[in-house]
Amino acid sequence: MNLRHLVTGAALLILCIMVGCSLAEKRQEIPSPVTHHPLPKPIETSPTPLLGKSITIATGDISGVYFPLGQALASTYGQYGGAFTGTRITKASIENTRLVREKKAELGFATVDAIASEEHALSAEKQPLVPSQLCALTGLYFNYIHIAVTKKSGIHSLKDLTGKRIGMGPIGSGTELSAERILQAAHLTNDTQKHYFSFSQASQALRDGVIDAAIFSSGLPNPDVSSLANDVSLTLISVPESVITELQRQYPYYLKKSIPAKTYAHLQSDIETIAVKNVLITYRDLPTDIAYELTKDFYTYLPELYDAHLAAREIDADQAGKNIYLPLHPGAARYFEEKKQKQAN
């Protein structure tokens, strides 16, 4: 091989490397926050209003309940409705309300306390008041507050958290909101060391002794609490009656409920706590026929969500409009009215 061929080959090699690096840099500059689900061939033969529509669902942390339910729901809308679907990993409730309000997602999971907090903050900023941009597609299941500690921690009650290191959930999450309110109602706001972790991070921090307690707001069972209960000597502490009463005085949407002992390994008794409803939200001006079809498919194929998480078994169409704070979207309301009439006939 002569010198000219060597020089030419080297130049081509350098050019290819430069082009490749340039393309790689460009790819790295483009964020990809939405995971798109491949579109299977729709099972329904007749066209539906969802056919070819883009539906993005704002979910939550991958270790929570919103994420697997969002994945399953996206697959349902793609398989049966022919929609182009995507899911978005988020910090959950509060971020989801903002994404849906800004129409960066068609659907999102959120707790009622987070929705109410966001709506109140938004209305306080705007004079005169404007109607909410959010509607509910349906109420879902309840989130239960878990206050998890290890048995060797010596923590037996909420009062014992004084001076302790507590995992509060991610900053800006519904878990953080609930945790702050519980500590405030228990007069512990300034007497604790707060750490802001995702569910999986809080679980590991509790396991490693980095924190003394972790607060989770989640459907039952929470995967990380289940893992902790199996790996370490874990227990949950109850929310006292006085704290529940104070919370309900300020925020009526918090309900007194119990986490059954059978939910997690080694629990000796039911755990008294507070719970708050989850809602599948959308924006107000989503076309009525789309909202109707999304609601209809949700309930028609609800059993397919059961495999994603046991919390889906709590979802009941007859309770869809209760304790949800927001009005139902007109398309969703139409579906529930039709269902009610069919049951009456």
pTM of the predicted model as reported, rounded to 2 decimal places: 0.85
Q: Which residues pair with 84 in a beta bridge?
A: 54
Is pLDDT of 288 > 50?
yes
Peptide bond into 128 cis (omega under 30): yes
Task: Give the whole-angstrom CA distance, residue 106 versus residue 117.
Answer: 20
Closest of 94, 25, 31, 83 to residue 56, by C-alpha: 83
Q: Which domains does the chain have, with CATH numbers?
A: 34-141+278-344 (3.40.190.10), 142-277 (3.40.190.10)
24-33, 73-82, 262-271, 319-328: least confidently modelled range:
24-33
What confidence tens digit (pLDDT) does each residue in 107-150 have? Answer: 999 999 999 999 988 766 664 545 689 999 999 999 999 999 99
Closest of 258, 272, 114 to residue 181, by C-alpha: 114
Closest of 145, 71, 63 to residue 111, by C-alpha: 145
Q: Nearest 5°: phi and psi at 58?
A: -85, 125
Q: What is the pLDDT of residue 125?
A: 65
Peptide bond into 170 cis (omega under 30): no
DSSP 141-197: EEEEEEEEEEGGG---SGGGGTT-EEE--STTSHHHHHHHHHHHHTT-TTSSEEE--
